[in-house]
Amino acid sequence: MIPVLHSDDDFLILDKPSGLAVQPGEGVRICLLDAVERDYGFKPYLVHRLDRETSGCLAVARSPRAASMLSALMGGNGAVKRYRAIVVGRPEPASGILGGKVRVRERMVDAETRYRTLAGAAGFSLVEAELGTGRNHQIRQHLAGAGWPILGDDRHGDFKANKAAAAGWGAKRLMLYACALTLPLQPPVSVTAPAPPHFADFCARVGMENP
CA nearest neighbour of 59 among 32, 34, 84: 32
72-81, 101-110, 112-121: which has the highest mean pLDDT? 112-121
Q: What is the pTM of this model?
A: 0.93
Among 15, 51, 153, 158, which one carries the catalytic annotation?
Answer: 51
- Annotated active-site residue 8? The verdict is no
Write out pLDDT tens, residues 34-77: 999 999 999 999 999 999 999 999 999 999 999 999 998 987 66
Q: Which domains does the chain have, with CATH numbers?
A: 4-78 (3.30.2350.10), 80-176 (3.30.2350.10)
Report, as an integer, the average pLDDT of 155-165. 95
Q: What pLDDT band is residue 137 in, cutting at 50, 70 and 90?
A: confident
Which strand (E) or helix (H) includes residue 87? strand 80-88
Mean pLDDT for all residues in the chain = 93
**Does the pLDDT of residue 134 top 80, yes or no?**
no
Distance between CA atoms of residues 51 and 134, nearest Å: 13
Please tell me the predicted confidence (pLDDT) of residue 77: 62
- Cis check for the bond before 3: say yes or no (omega within 30 of 0): no
Please tell me the predicted confidence (pLDDT) of residue 100: 83
59 vs 134, more confident: 59
